[in-house]
Structures are given as structure tokens and as C-alpha cells.
Amino acid sequence: MEKDRGRDSGVAMRSRLLLAFAGLVFSHAVGAADPAAISQKATTWRKQHEHEILQEFSDLLAIPNLASDKPNIERNATAIRALCEKRGLTTQLLTLEGAPPIVVADLTASEAKRTIAVYAHYDGQPVDATKWKSDPWKPVMRDSAGNDVDWKKPKAIDPEWRLYARSAGDDKAPIIGMLAALDALRASELKPSVNLRFVFEGEEEAGSPHLARYLEKYPKELRPDAWILCDGPVHQSRRAELFFGARGTFDLELTVYGPIKGLHDGHYGNWVPNPIVRLTHLLDSMRDEDGRILIKGFYDNVKSPTAAELAAIAKIPDVQADLRREFQIAATEGNGKPLNEVLLQPALNIRGIESGHVGAMASNTIQTEARASIDFRLVPNETPDSIKPLVERHLVAQGYTIVRDTPDAATRDKHPKIVRVTWGAGYPPARTSLDLPLSREIAAIMSAAGHDPVRLPTVGGSIPMYLFQQPNDTPVIGLPIANHDDNQHAADENLRLQNLWDGIEIYAALFVGLTTQ
Ligand SMILES: [Zn+2]
């Protein structure tokens, strides 16, 4: 811990020097706005208004927010719109038939030459109320020992308290944090340096099924110069975080066939092909034990990590030993490379294998079929379309005939090895360069504001960042503020108050500190 802190302050100092240099170049904006001073002003303001901020937060969390719950999801949109208008923002509701509205709120800056969109989503995951300690949509404050606290009493609020409710962390906290940051700036008569466009989506947790159509229908509103996505948790070390990419995904299901009916494996074993053995060999031909994909050409389009990405990875606090202990694994895949470097590579994950039975249900049978469910994780510049033919060519090279439906008797009679291939949903990856001026600027401002970020070149999971990035290669940078242990998507979701306070400082510093062009 101490060692980390020492290193952090060194980085912060270097960032401050960098920023001072940037100030000479962009004398207008950065020189005028010292992130440390703005962060301090935001803190001073916040300390005087904690009860009001928490009241707004609590009121917003009290509105149920499942994307499919039309009346309530619209109540959320209306409430957020009102919160924005209260701050003097120009608002509009973008609509599409059958989709929750997108709330757009603008704050223009007189000398700004660019518009930065700041994104969060107001819908949440479904809840299983029986698993929650209290009603998911009746926010409750608890102290670090887990005892309920009456935060409305006029007494000091402990930053280690947590507010429990669905979407406290994912993803209403950023909405409240941004609006509080605007209040803090106005109280100090500080004006944003860029045009800010707040964009609040209402069906992220349902997989953003209409986002692509929204972006198409509203290019004027939804094609800014850059995106800052405020979603997800910060790094496990509790340090602030920026992420610059997300992996794409593509689902695949494979079925291989044995005899048309189950057969006695004593009478027919080693003569009638065993589909489980065929499937495991087939999977073995696709991926080795270390995670390397063995499909020919699979790495041809994979971008090598840049120097900046490797440097950022080297500075990520090393939590791997802790994770190994937590997961009780003595070794890792990936040839000994650190987790975040492995995430820059594509992956072939085997999600499940199904055939026959084990344990008490085991029987001496040659099964009729065996199935595997696979998800590929894709990295730039791969796409679902680019890997599909490679995978299918590989299956054919293993002697298989590909079918799209359950094979009929004639097909089975003709081909010794048949695999049914079913491709599922998929979308491409996205990554923003760490070397872009905006990427550096955001990191430098955060460092100078006292929140030196861990910079992740990509997250391993898949979020549709590519939708925001395409077609103009728009920079998209992720800036989460929630605590890593916020139980997002699960019961007892919560937000640690210090994370909200940090978010307010970060947003305030960015809104005023970004260069105008
Ligand atoms: Zn989220």
C-alpha cells in the first residue's frame, strides 16, 4: 500500500508537470483551470451540501428502473430531465417506438469548439427482492459494519457509509455526481471549457437493443466529438480508473453426432464413434491449455499492444496474487503474462459441454450427440465477420462436414463426421488510443485533481463501445466511479459514499479543465 502510494504521488507530480506544459500550449483552458484547485472547490461545496446530494440520489433510486417496466422507466427519464433543467441545462427526450427514452441535456460553453458527451444509464438489472436485506427500491444507508443509519439527521456523514438500492452503483451514481459537479462549479462561478452533452440511456442492462437505431436516427444529438462513458466499477485497488476499450464478442454452439440412438458401450464401444470424444478432441484442436487459439489465421488481424498500452499495464496495481488466492488457483493461463496484457488478446472460452451423465446417473452408453457452447472475445481489428470463416475452415480441416440444422438420415449416411454450427449474437471490439491528446488530457487532469487513474487499455468483458466509436472512429473513454465491491447486478447493490464524492471532484475538474478544442 505505502509503496503504491509513493509511486502514485510521483506519477501525480509528473502529471502536474505535464499539465503545466500543456498549460503553456493550451494557455486558454488548462492554464485557467487548475484541476487541484477546482477539485478542492468541489470538495468544499460538497461538504456543505451532502444531505441535499444524498436526498436527490435517494429520490432517484426510489424509482424502480427495469427497462421493460414502461411507466416507471419513463418516470426515471422525467425525473432526470427535471434534475437537468433545475441546473439550467437544455434538455430533450429522444424517443424510438418501444424503447425507453434517451435523456439528452446540453450545457454549451461560449468559446468551446468541441462537444464532449458524458454517458450514463438510468435503468438497472432485474431484482430478486427475496435475496435483498431490504427493498431494492427503498434506499437504505448503512455504516461499514452493516448497521442501518439515519443519514437524514443533521450530523456528520461518514464517507465509508454506503447507500443500498438497485442502481446505486450501476449506474445512477454518475448521474448524481455529474449534476452535483455542475452545482459546485456554478457556486464557484466556474464555467465548463467544452460543450457538455449529458446522455442518459434507459435500457443498457437489457443489452441496449435500440442504441444502434438511436445513433442512426439522431446523428446530430448522438455524434459528439468524443464520449466519456461513466459506467461500471473502479479498479479493485480503489484507485480511480479509465478504460479505453472493450472486447467484442461472438457466440458459437457446436454439436457433433454419434449413433442415432444410445448404445451399450460394452457391445459397441471403440467401433461406434463416441460423440463426447469427438467433441473434446475438436475443442482441443481449437484452443490449447494456455488459452492460445489454434485456429489458423486467428491472430492475423490482432493489433499488437502499443508502447503506451504496455506502459499503462505496467502501472496497474498488481492484484493477481490476491486474485489467485481468492479463486484458489495455483497457476494461470496466458503464458505467465499479466491479466491485463492477456485481455488485449482474443479468447475462446468454453462455456459448457453437455452430453451423457456422471455420478449416480452415469450409464454405460455411447451417447447420440455432444454439444459445446463457446464465446469468443474479440480484439481490434477482428470482427465477427472476420473470424467466422476462419473457424468454419478449421472445422472442415478437422474432417467435419458443417450443417446448420439437425442432420437427416441421408446426410448422416453420407458424411463420417458432422458438426452442426450455430452462430449466436456478436459484435466487434473497440479501443481508443492511449496516445490521443484527449486520452492523455483526461488522465493528466484526474491525476492533478488528486485522482491518478489506473489506465486499462481494455476491459475484458464486452460492452458495445463500438457503437459510440463507429463510423468516425470517435474517441470513447470509460470513466467509472462506483466502488468495485458495489454488488452490481446482484442483491444488496450499494454505493460507497467516498466514491460519489471522488466522482464529483473528477467531473468538476474535467468539465472545466478540458481544452476547448
Ligand atoms: Zn452499467
CA distances from 363 to 114, 264, 291, 357 (A): 67, 9, 32, 7
Please list the helix, strand and coil fractions of the chain in percent, rounded to the nearest 5, in that order.
40, 20, 40
pLDDT recorded at residue 154: 82
211/298 Cα distance (integer angstroms)? 29
Q: Measure 232 CA to ligand 1 centroid, in angstroms.
A: 5
Mean pLDDT of the region 246-253: 96
The alpha carbon of 120 and the centre of ligand 1 are apart by a number of angstroms equal to 8
How far does the centroid of ligand 1 lie from the alpha carbon of residue 486, in Å? Answer: 12
How many percent of the chain have pLDDT more than 90? 89
Q: pLDDT band for position 476 (50/70/90)?
A: very high
Q: For residue 461, is pLDDT > 90?
A: no
Q: Is the pLDDT of residue 490 over 70?
A: yes
> Is residue 164 pLDDT above 90, yes or no?
yes
Q: How far is the CA of 165 from the centre of ligand 1 (A)?
A: 14
**In this predicted structure, which of 36-50, 254-268, 452-466 has the lowest mean pLDDT?**
452-466
pLDDT in tens, 309-331: 999 999 999 999 999 999 999 99
Region 429-446: mean pLDDT is 97
pTM greater than the 0.85 cutoff: yes
DSSP assignment letter at 182: H
Q: Tell me the CA–centroid distance for residue 115 and ligand 1, in Å.
A: 23
As a whole number, mean pLDDT of residues 403-425 equals 97
Q: 3-12, 36-45, 167-176, 403-412: which range is least confident on average?
A: 3-12
Say how many Å lie between the CA of residue 214 and the centre of ligand 1: 18
- How far is the centre of ligand 1, averaged over its atoms, from the C-alpha of 350 (Å)? 25
The pLDDT confidence band at residue 28, using thresholds 50, 70 and 90, is very low
Expressed in angstroms and rounded, the spacing between residue 290 Cα and the centre of ligand 1 is 31
Rounded to the nearest angstrom, the distance between the alpha carbon of 102 and the centre of ligand 1 is 15
| CA 480 to centroid of ligand 1, rounded, Å | 9
Give me the chain's average pLDDT, please.
Answer: 93
Mean pLDDT computed over 34-62: 97
| 517 band by pLDDT with thresholds 50, 70 and 90 | confident
Q: What is the pLDDT of residue 475?
A: 97
**What's the pLDDT score for residue 32?**
55
CA of 488 to the centre of ligand 1 (A): 8
Distance CA 439, CA 475 (A): 8
Please tell me the least confidently modeled range out of 26-35, 54-63, 150-159, 393-402: 26-35
CA 234 to centroid of ligand 1, rounded, Å: 12
Q: What is the mean pLDDT of residues 114-140?
A: 96
Name the DSSP letter for residue 77.
H
d(CA 401, CA 391): 13
Enumerate the β-bridge partners of residue 426: 250
What mean pLDDT comes out for the span 99-123?
Answer: 96
User: What distance in angstroms lies between residue 114's CA and the mean position of ligand 1's atoms?
Assistant: 26
Q: How far is the CA of 151 from the centre of ligand 1 (A)?
A: 26
Helix (H) or strand (E) run with residue 118 in it: strand 115-121
C-alpha 190/C-alpha 393 separation (Å) is: 60
Question: How far is the centre of ligand 1, averaged over its atoms, from the C-alpha of 4 (Å)?
Answer: 29
What counts of helices (H) and strands (E) characterise the chain? 18, 21
Q: How far is the CA of 465 from the centre of ligand 1 (A)?
A: 13
Q: How far apart are CA 172 and CA 61, in angstroms?
A: 7
- Cα-to-centroid distance, 439 and ligand 1 (Å): 22
**pLDDT at res. 479:** 98
Mean pLDDT along residues 370-390: 97
pLDDT score of 395: 98
Q: How confident is the model at residue 33 (pLDDT cuts 50, 70, 90)?
A: confident
**Which of 8 and 233 is assigned the larger pLDDT?**
233
Predicted local distance difference test score (pLDDT) of residue 13: 44
Residue (of 380, 106, 104, 438) closest to 242 by Cα position = 438
